[in-house]
Amino acid sequence: MIERYTLPEMGRVWSDAHKYELWCRVETLVVEAHAEAGTIPAEVVEPIRKAAPPTPDAVHAIEAVTQHDVIAFLSAWADNTEPREAARFVHFGMTSSDLLDTALALQLVEATDILLAKADTLVETLRDHALAHKDTLRVGRTHGIHGEPDVWGHRVADFAFAAARSRDRLRRAREAVGVMAISGAVGTYSNIDPAIERSVAEKLGLQPADVSTQVVIRDGISEWTSSLAIMATVLEAVALEVRHGQRTEVRELWEPFGKGQKGSSAMPHKKNPIMSERLAGMARIVRAQIVPVMEGIPLWHERDISHSSTERIALPDAATALDYMLNLTNRLMSGLVVDADRMRENLDSTGGLIYTSTVLLELVEAGMSRDDEAYPLVQKAAMETWQTGVPFRETLRTQAAEAGLTLDEARLDEVCRPERFVARLAPMFEHLEALK
């Protein structure tokens, strides 16, 4: 992921320097387990433990010759070991995938913990915003067209629960990627005791793979990537609502716009939904990683490395992009400007057409057939309002008179109040208050 969208903490997780630190940690634990088992001399443990991780430059210089990153790492780390003779017991009985998959599991767990912490914050932000606007009337829209009265808090509550489910889904995926293997070439433990694997797994807080055929099968990593993509798409849904609400014709919502900020190089009046549009674009990046990562599940026989190049790009990019998105969405919703007056103005802008469903039911309850009498009458009045701008109650009154009906005006006054439409949302908001 480019530096523009890489936040420091997540960037550190996926840096080469940190990767080599994790590689040293894994290899050291294997050496310690071997020494405890009496497989290798105990006196080599301390020199290996004290050897500083190699620098990325040192590893890359050797890799330019060897064309093998693990061998380059082992050689560079051996150069930091005193005495160097002790380094001969590093990687004892292991194969490259033992190191790569185990260290990758650690990176994925670290990255997930960063994402989960930010997801917790966003769930709280969305919950609080929704509760603050549980009485902020607005029109509910279907197909982009005014439907019935609603409240802004209802819309945001949907996002809050979706974000919470996405977080919980990612929490489960953390377990799916917290899997390691130290089983040697072809995964048969031919040169390393399974007890070594169990010892290292316990100290790293990981689970040994149920089966390793030299590589850990990628269904768990695919689940993790899919979880990230779902969360990113939920964030895009939040962004899409804000983008719509900031349109000039709507003007109900405004992204934070700081002092000195400029919206356009050519048009000084512009306040564009740049945060929301950025979220929409970045969600595509996260979603795009699902198929390439999933295609790493089928490998040739016990091992090939067709998954390796994909994952070096896809996993850091997905985690880093979502990390940025969570941070940006929290900023967006924390500073979102809600124009309640404009929402009410839009709600009233169609002259009462948003009450047609209630009027329809009132006429049915009064004895009219739904399809043959009530619906045609209400629809005809509504179409006249669309075409002429005459308020719906007036066109309805005219159509009713032509049909020989007298409307119960007091009853219509009662049922055509916007507050009535949202009264039954109270239990949902009580449920929302308990969301953690």
Among all residues, which ones are annotated catalytic? 143, 264
CB 73 within 8 A of CB 20: yes
Which amino acid type is present at position 43?
A: E
Residues 431 and 64: their CA atoms lie apart, in Å, by: 59
What does the block give as tokens for 274? Answer: 């740049």
CB 90 within 8 A of CB 78: yes
Here the contacts of 7-14 (C-beta below 8 Å, separation 24 or greater) are 7/320, 7/323, 7/324, 7/327, 9/114, 9/323, 10/111, 10/114, 10/319, 10/320, 10/323, 10/324, 11/320, 13/107, 13/110, 13/111, 13/114, 13/319, 14/107, 14/111, 14/315, 14/316, 14/319, 14/320
Q: Which residue has the tokens 């009906």?
A: 405
Beta bridge partners of 146: 141
**Residue 260 DSSP code:** T
List Cα–Cα distances, 211 to 140, 187, 196, in angstroms.
52, 8, 15
Residues 85 and 88: their CA atoms lie apart, in Å, by: 6
What does the block give as tokens for 275? Answer: 């945060």
Residues 118 and 14: their CA atoms lie apart, in Å, by: 18
CB 181 within 8 A of CB 104: no
CB 330 within 8 A of CB 118: yes
